[in-house]
Amino acid sequence: MTSTQSAPTLTVERLFSEPPLLGQAPSQLAFSPDGSILTFLAVAEDDRERLTLWRSDVESGEQRLWLDPVAIANTGAETEEEKAARERKRLFAHGITSYQWSPDGGHILLPIDGAGYLFDTSSEQLRRFTPEGTRQTDFQFSPSGKQISFVRAGNLYVYNRASDAERQITSDASDTVSNGLAEFIAAEEMHRFTGHWWSADEHRIAFTRVDEAPIPITHRHDVGPDGITTVAQRYPFTGGPNAEVKLGVFDLAAAAVSWPDWAEASDDYLARVDFSGPALVIQVQSRNQQRLTLKMLDGSSWKTLADEEQKTWINLHDGFTWLPDNKRFLWLSERSGNQQLYVGDTDGNLTPVPSNLGRVDEIVWCDDQHAITSGWQEDPTCNHIWRVALDGGGSECLSHGGDEAWRASWNDATASRDGSAVALRQSNAETPVQITLTDTQSQARQVLYKTDLADPSGYGPLLASHRTPSFGSLVSSTGHDLHYRLTLPEGASAESPCPAVIYVYGGPGVQRVSRAFAPLTNQLFAAHGFAVLELDNRGSSNREKSFEDVIFNHLGEAEVADQVLGAEMLGAMGEVDASRIGIFGHSYGGFMTLMCLAKAPDVFAAGVSAAPVTDWTLYDTHYTERYLGTPEGNPEGYEKSAIFAHLDGLKGPLLLMHGMADDNVLFTNATKLMAALQERDIAFELMTYPGSKHGLQEQWVSIHRFKLICDFFTRHLGTPQ
């Protein structure tokens, strides 16, 4: 892509306004059970925050809008359960935010605005099956599709489609008790978003009964545009108690519930539950997260299928999958140093599956002979889809088809029920989103969707000023490769060096640098004259375990050292002015911004910190204890990992941003930092957002905060000379 001096450039208002610059990029791809239709969600043309349902005919490739819920609205306000579930899943859109095909393909289950709907795929009629004036969450088809389970007001219900009647399964919900829902820690930190599971024969439903009473009440002040609301929140602060989680198994015929004792210790976590195969299988994680036990309910006792142990922590995954014979299963483990694929059996044997992959990240589909997986071979910035022979016969790549343009790319996949086809959601440095249908045997490929960058109503007018990034890597002090993506603005040269912004996350569980099309916020910074560097420091995700483990017991040390390496690389380039390097990040990235400013004040000239954790004793149990242990067991680690031990070193200008209704990184993190800065007579700029939670995703908030960020960096770093 070329650039010209006279070409229009990206503005904040255009980036966050309608129509979306990159069009209706498909998400949540799913095949119909017979494989003839591929469905997906796309944003509405008139509202980037409303999602609509589309269908694509697999044989012809014909696509059309199938359902737009613009006229559908439930009565009543969104419940706290719904709000919490949306925040945990980072769902900031409305309309159709999720959907499920019925097993026979005749209907699609749609939760819309708290109500349950069935969409008839033949007549294309939509029917509501939950009562008017009620709100529900966590809808699930039973394995046959004849029944639907959901949660209303903290109790579990089952709807029978044949009789058009619902049945209440639990009735003891209260201010502290809920049934069938994932608790805060499970959803926010373990990424387990449901709390109930159907048995394969539909005779039973397993569900969690969560009682938050052990967690002390803390009063959080949600500051909104119309006033202050005091919220009595049971937030599980690190080192403190978690909710009590019981596992119930309800027999639908007998109308009786049993309560198997799942925990090995009183403070264990119920990390995963699976009821799809011959028996109930759970994953139990120890409180210190150094042990994970996979076990199956055998009669009235538990049988261990696999044991995982690490000296640091164990990363949870969704890789447990029964093979069709119901005697063996697939499993992912990092016991070899990087996550790989294993075949296990009900006798507790676990055998690695040989392949040429450096890391297996996800199991997409499997039968008794093969698995379709995602992962990387040599370069962690390139994610591909692989067909792996379970007998050790090797693997083949399904996602680039020998096309050199797609070897350096990022791919996610959805498989048809029989595994004969995969729908690839692809992206590379030149292509935002491409949907490619691939035959897994012949590898014949059909492009169903490709983002039109030249669209005159979208990105087209800005295409001439687009800046294509470059990729590279540095070597850390421990010998690990640190991958980066660099976007330079127009006109940067040794004669006219530009300022730079390091766009950082830096924390575990996230990878910023990939061969996918980069976020348009990078183009926004470049349009304002800034070089943009993204660098995945040690501790980041999708790497070998030793790469992550460096941060154990002490946060903000190795990560800062690696970002300093990135800044030094920028400073050594003729195109960048070493004295004008800023840093910006959100959440863990906000924490990183503060630590970099305080620990390397001569390197970073200014910083924007959004929604930062400033004191890890103010964060939750599961996340914080995974890396730091408890405050009682690691007081020095907590002290050195908080910004307050390093504030005296902070010299550069700081802009602090925080949502005033943040229930994840509590606003107390910001107020405690404000007080500490004021006590030290350190000047800073502040912008708070009434009513906004952690994501700060509202359209008006996005426009306002990015205008402030660009203005802040322009004032303190300047523009190219």
Q: Which of 86, 198, 77, 67 is closest to 135 using CA atoms?
A: 77
Give me the pLDDT at residue 86, please: 54
Which pLDDT belongs to residue 557?
Answer: 98
Q: What is the pLDDT of residue 402?
A: 81
**Global pTM?**
0.94
* Alpha carbon distance 598, 589 (integer Å): 14
Q: What is the arithmetic mean of pLDDT over 469-473? A: 98
Report, as an integer, the average pLDDT of 483-496: 96
pLDDT above 60: residue 3: no
Q: Tell me, what's the pLDDT at 49?
A: 81
Q: What is the pLDDT of residue 536?
A: 98
Is residue 338 within 8 A of residue 361, CB to CB? The reply is no
For residue 435, the model assigns a pLDDT of 94
Average pLDDT for 174-180: 97
More confident call, 241 vs 221: 241
Q: Which entry of 149, 333, 540, 587 is annotated as an active-site residue?
A: 587
Cα–Cα distance, 350 to 332 (Å, whole number) = 10
| Nearby residues of 715 by Cβ (< 8 Å), 6 or more positions away | none
CA-based nearest residue to 521, from 665, 720, 719, 705: 705
Lowest mean pLDDT among 20-29, 501-510, 562-571: 20-29
CB 655 within 8 A of CB 712: yes
Instruction: Work out the pLDDT band at 224, boundaries 50, 70, 90.
Output: confident
Q: Is 694 a catalytic residue?
A: yes
How many angstroms separate the CA atoms of 228 and 145, rounded?
Answer: 45
Across the range 368-391, mean pLDDT stands at 96
**Residue 709 pLDDT:** 98
Assess whether pLDDT exceeds 60 at residue 586.
yes
Q: Supply 236's token pair.
A: 């599980």
pLDDT digits over 672-689, tens only? Answer: 999 999 999 999 999 999
Q: CA-to-CA distance for 212 and 233, rounded, in angstroms?
A: 10
Q: DSSP strand E in 377-452: where?
A: 384-389, 395-397, 410-415, 421-428, 431-439, 445-450
Average pLDDT estimate for 325-329: 95
The one-letter amino acid code at 49 reads E
Domain ranges for the chain: 467-717
* Catalytic residue from among 361, 577, 615, 662: 662
**What is the C-alpha separation between 470 and 472, in angstroms, rounded?**
7
What number is the average pLDDT over the span 641-647? Answer: 98
Q: Are 505 and 589 in contact (CB under 8 A)?
A: yes
Query: What mean pLDDT is predicted for residues 420-432?
Result: 96
pLDDT of residue 232: 87
Q: Is 662 a known active-site residue? A: yes
More confident residue, 645 or 18: 645
Residue matched to tokens 């539909």: 202
Cα gap 423→436, rounded to integer Å = 6
Q: Phi first, then psi: give them for residue 371, nearest 5 degrees.
A: -130, 145
| Half-sphere exposure at residue 511, Cβ-oriented, CA atoms within 13 angstroms | 19
What's the whole-number mean pLDDT along residues 384-406?
91
Per-residue pLDDT of 230-250, as tens digits, reads 888 899 999 999 999 999 999
Cα angle 631-636-639, degrees, rounded to a multiple of 5 = 80
3-class DSSP state of 581 = strand
Q: Are the C-beta atoms of residues 284 and 268 closer than 8 Å to each other?
A: yes
Average pLDDT, the chain: 94
Structure confidence by residue, pLDDT tens digits, 334-347: 999 999 999 999 99
**Catalytic residue (one of 196, 646, 694, 716):** 694
Q: pLDDT tens for residues 71-103?
A: 675 545 556 555 555 555 555 568 899 999 999
Tell me which H or E stretch contains 52: strand 47-57
Which of 53, 144, 145, 50 lies closest to 107, judged by CA?
Answer: 145
pLDDT band, very low/low/confident/very high, at 47 (cuts 50, 70, 90): confident
> What's the mean pLDDT in 420-428?
96
Q: What is the pLDDT of residue 87?
A: 56
Answer yes or no: 587 catalytic: yes
Buried b (16+ CB within 10 A) or exposed e, 229-254: eeeeebbbbbbeebbbbbbbbbebee
Identify the pLDDT of residue 404.
86
> How confident is residue 466, by pLDDT bands cut at 50, 70 and 90?
very high
Q: Could you please report the per-residue DSSP string of 282-333?
A: EEEE-TTSSEEEEEEEETTEEEEEEEEE-SS-----S--EE-TTSSEEEEEE
467-717, what's its fold? Rossmann fold (3.40.50)
pLDDT mean over 125-132: 96
Residue 474 has pLDDT above 60, yes or no: yes
Question: Is residue 548 a contact partner of residue 541, using CB atoms and an 8 Å limit?
Answer: yes
pLDDT for residue 2: 44
Task: Determine the pLDDT at residue 84.
Answer: 58
Residue 254 pLDDT > 90, yes or no?
Answer: yes
CB atoms within 10 A of CB 665: 25
pLDDT in tens, 107-120: 999 999 999 999 99
User: What integer is the mean pLDDT of 15-27?
Assistant: 89
Partnered with residue 415 across adjacent β-strands are 422
Indicate if the pLDDT at residue 475 is higher than 90. yes
The lowest-confidence range among 21-25, 154-158, 453-457 is 21-25
Residues facing residue 565 across a β-bridge:
none
φ, ψ dihedrals at 628, nearest 5°: -115, -5
In the chain, the N- to C-terminal Cα span, in Å, equals: 24
What was the pLDDT predicted at 80? 57
